[in-house]
Amino acid sequence: MSTLLEMSGVSVSFDGFKAINNLSFQIGEPELRAIIGPNGAGKTTFMDIITGKTKPDEGRVLWGDKGTSLLGRSESQIARAGIGRKFQKPTVFEAQTVRENIAMALKNSRGPFDVLFYRKTAEGAARIEAVAKEVGLTEELPRPAGELSHGKKQWLEIGMLLAQDPRLLLVDEPAAGMTPAEREHTTDLLKRMAETRAVVVVEHDMEFVRRLNCKVTVLHEGSVLAEGSLDHVTANQDVIDVYLGR
Amino acid sequence: MKPGFLSQNPSVLWFLAALGLFTLGVTVLAEATGTGALSTSFVKTLGKTLCLCLIAIAMDVVWGYCGILSLGHFAFFGIGGYAIGMWLMYARTEAIVSESMAAAVIPPTDQEVIDAIGTQIFGVVGSSEFPVIWAFSDSLFLQLLMVVLIPGLLALVFGWLAFRSRVTGVYLSILTQAMTLALSLYLFQNDSGLRGNNGLSGLQNIPGFEDTPQSMISIAFFWASALALGLGYLLFAFVTSGKMGSVIRGIRDDEARVRFLGYHVESYKLFVFTLTAVIAGIAGALYYPQAGIINPAEIAPIASIYLAVWVAIGGRGRLYGAVIGAAFVSLLSSWFTGGGAPNVNLGVYTIQWTDWWLVLLGLSFVAVTLFAPKGIGGLFDAIAVRRTPERVGDYGPDKGALRQEEGTE
Is B380 a domain residue?
no
Orientation angle between helical segments B319-337 and B10-29, nearest 10 degrees: 30
Candidates B244, B250, B265; nearest CB to A76:
B265
Question: How far apart, in whole angstroms, are the C-alpha atoms of residue B268 and residue B266?
Answer: 5
Which residues from chain A sit within 8 angstroms of residue B257, using beta carbons? 87, 91, 93
Question: How far apart, in whole angstroms, are the C-alpha atoms of residue A78 and residue A84?
Answer: 9
pLDDT for A200: 94
Whether residue A82 lies within 8 A of chain B, CB to CB, comes out as: no
Pick from B353, B285, B248: which is nearest to B81 by CA?
B285
Q: Give A156-222 as a DSSP string.
A: HHHHHHHHH--SEEEEE-TTTT--HHHHHHHHHHHHHHTTTSEEEEE-S-HHHHHHH-SEEEEEETT
CB contacts under 8 A, A 97-136 vs B, are 100, 103-105, 110-112, 115-116, 118-120
Candidates B244, B253, B260; nearest CB to A75:
B260
B95 three-class SS: helix
Query: CB A112 to CB B246 under 8 A?
Result: no
Whether residue A128 is predicted with pLDDT greater than 60 in this model: the reply is yes
Question: How far apart, in whole angstroms, are the C-alpha atoms of residue A107 and residue B261?
Answer: 9
Q: pLDDT tens across A9-18, in order? A: 999 998 888 8
Which residues from chain B sit within 8 angstroms of residue A87, using beta carbons? 257
Question: How far apart, in whole angstroms, are the C-alpha atoms of residue B12 and residue B6?
Answer: 7
Is B396 a domain residue?
no
Could you tell me which residues come within 8 angstroms of residue B210 by beta carbon, excluding any fewer than 6 positions away? B95
Could you tell me which residues come within 8 angstroms of residue B103 by beta carbon, excluding any fewer than 6 positions away? none
Identify the domain containing residue B26 by its residue range.
5-322
> For B257, phi and psi rounded to 5 degrees?
-65, -40
Which residues from chain A sit within 8 angstroms of residue B268, using beta carbons? 112, 115
Of the ranges A91-105, A204-218, B6-20, the best mean pLDDT one: A91-105
Does A2-244 carry CATH code 1.10.220.70?
no
Is B388 a domain residue?
no
* Average pLDDT across chain A, whole number: 88
Is B351 a domain residue?
no
- Which residues of B sit within 8 Å Cβ distance of A? 2, 239, 242-244, 246-247, 249-250, 253-254, 256-265, 267-268, 271, 389-390, 392
Instruction: List chain A domain ranges.
Output: 2-244
Candidates A74, A85, A104; nearest CB to B247:
A104
CA distances from B325 to A31, B23, B189, B377 (A): 56, 18, 34, 8
Which chain B residue is nearest to residue A47, measuring alpha carbons?
Answer: B260
Which residues from chain B sit within 8 angstroms of residue A74, using beta carbons? 259, 264
Q: What is the pLDDT along chain B (409 residues), one digit of tens a residue?
A: 444 677 777 889 999 999 999 999 999 999 888 888 899 999 999 999 999 999 999 999 999 999 999 999 999 999 999 999 999 999 999 998 888 888 778 888 888 888 888 888 888 888 888 888 898 988 999 999 999 999 999 999 999 999 999 988 899 999 999 999 999 999 998 888 899 889 999 999 999 888 889 999 999 999 999 999 999 999 999 999 889 999 999 999 999 899 999 999 999 999 999 999 999 999 999 999 999 999 999 899 999 999 999 999 998 888 999 999 999 999 988 888 887 778 888 888 888 888 888 888 889 889 888 888 888 888 887 776 555 555 555 556 666 666 655 554 4
Q: pLDDT tens across B355-364, in order? A: 888 888 889 8
Whether residue A66 lies within 8 A of chain B, CB to CB, comes out as: no
Is B116 a domain residue?
yes
Is B145 a domain residue?
yes
Tally the domains of chain B.
1
Task: Please report the ipTM that was assigned to this predicted complex.
Answer: 0.87
> For B197, phi and psi rounded to 5 degrees?
-75, -5
| Alpha helix segments (H runs only) across chain A | 43-50, 75-81, 98-105, 112-116, 122-135, 150-164, 180-193, 206-212, 230-235, 237-244
| Chain mean position to CA A204 | 14
B135 three-class SS: coil
Which residues from chain A sit within 8 angstroms of residue B256, using beta carbons? 53, 75, 91
Which chain B residue is nearest to residue A85, measuring alpha carbons?
Answer: B260
Query: CB A93 to CB B249 under 8 A?
Result: yes
Question: How far apart, in whole angstroms, are the C-alpha atoms of residue B224 and residue B216?
Answer: 12
Q: Which residue in B160, B260, B264 has the most chain A C-beta atoms within 10 A of its own C-beta, making it the best mutation to test that interface? A: B260
Q: Which residue in A53, A102, A116, A138 has the most chain B C-beta atoms within 10 A of its own C-beta, making it the best mutation to test that interface? A: A116
Is B126 a domain residue?
yes
Which is it for the CA torsion B98, B103, B104, B108, positive or negative? Answer: positive
Query: CB B253 to CB A95 under 8 A?
Result: yes
Query: CB B250 to CB A93 under 8 A?
Result: yes
Query: CB B257 to CB A91 under 8 A?
Result: yes
pLDDT for B2: 45
